[in-house]
Amino acid sequence: FIDGVARAFGRIDVLVNNAGVIQVAPMQDLRVEELDEAMRSNFWSAVYATRRALPHLEKQGRAARIVNVTSIGGRVAVPHLLGYNASKFAMMGFSESLQAELSYGSARGPRVTTVIPGPMRTGSIYNAEFGGDPRREFGWFGLASSIPLATIDARRAARRVVAAAREGRAEVKLGLSSHLLSWAHGIAPQMTVRLMGLVNALLPAPRGAAGTTRGRDLRAPAQGSALLRLSNEAARRNNEAPPEAAR
């Protein structure tokens, strides 16, 4: 595919790595296959795409851009998102390693921008996978993805990512949550982990139930809640197809 793009347009100037899947469940309720899926989609897809595109990007030198969309989940391990966290931590290391090798000193390669979003209002809660106690997991995750001050609108986030890539910035944080949690983890990492432990105590307990259910298939009571209004609006706008209960 990437070589085909280069043939069709004669060059490649920008690569954006933004693939992702998310499973929401306690560790005990996740199968190894689901963790592997998270790593393959969220991390390995970026590795393969970058390796394939790099020869084309290097022809453009420092004018080229690689944009890696990671997550605050790659800085702070949020409970019940183990596969997502692990893949985004890997993505964070991959992106910063690329910066060191391609963007600085005598290197003349593409500039690499690491994007660190907090929760974004995209409506993707309906395509996330929920395990353990799926309806309760959907409830807390849906709310966390819809609160105005704690989340960022996807359109606003996109504009900031484009601006950061044009400027060749090394890093851009999106949303108040990303800034606050990055700061907290930077000055007190162990305290931040303990705080996440307190959050974990408020979440549904493991049930020893294998398998996950997609959000749109849950028929969870929270789907029709006014608290999810912003997420439901984003889902309709972004073709995330919320169920009838959320329309």
Q: pTM for this structure?
A: 0.92
pLDDT average, residue stretch 74-90: 97
The two tokens of residue 157 are 């986030």
The two tokens of residue 4 are 């085909």
Model pLDDT, residue 147: 86
Catalytic residue among 48, 84, 104, 126: 84
In tens, the pLDDT along 132-157 reads 999 999 999 998 988 888 899 999 99
In a domain, 188, yes or no: yes
In a domain, 193, yes or no: yes
Model pLDDT, residue 225: 75
In tens, the pLDDT along 83-102 reads 999 999 999 999 999 999 99
Long-range contacts of 94-100 (CB under 8 A, 24+ apart): 94/43, 94/46, 94/47, 94/68, 95/68, 95/70, 98/50, 98/66, 98/68, 99/170
In tens, the pLDDT along 97-127 reads 999 999 887 678 899 999 999 999 888 899 9
In tens, the pLDDT along 167-185 reads 999 999 999 999 999 999 9
Decide if 84 is catalytic.
yes
Q: Find the angle CA(91)-CA(143)-CA(236) to the nearest 5 degrees.
A: 80
- The answer to whether the beta carbons of residues 101 and 107 sit under 8 Å apart is yes
In a domain, 26, yes or no: yes
In a domain, 7, yes or no: yes
Give the separation between CA 233 and CA 29, rounded to whole angstroms: 30
- Number of domains composing the chain: 1
Give the separation between CA 209 and CA 148, rounded to whole angstroms: 33
Q: Domain with 28 in it: what CATH number?
A: 3.40.50.720
Give the separation between CA 205 and CA 214, rounded to whole angstroms: 19
Model pLDDT, residue 228: 82
Model pLDDT, residue 29: 96
In a domain, 22, yes or no: yes
At residue 245 the predicted structure's pLDDT band, cuts being 50, 70 and 90, is low
Domain residues for the domain of 146 are 2-241
- Between 68 and 210, residue with greater pLDDT: 68
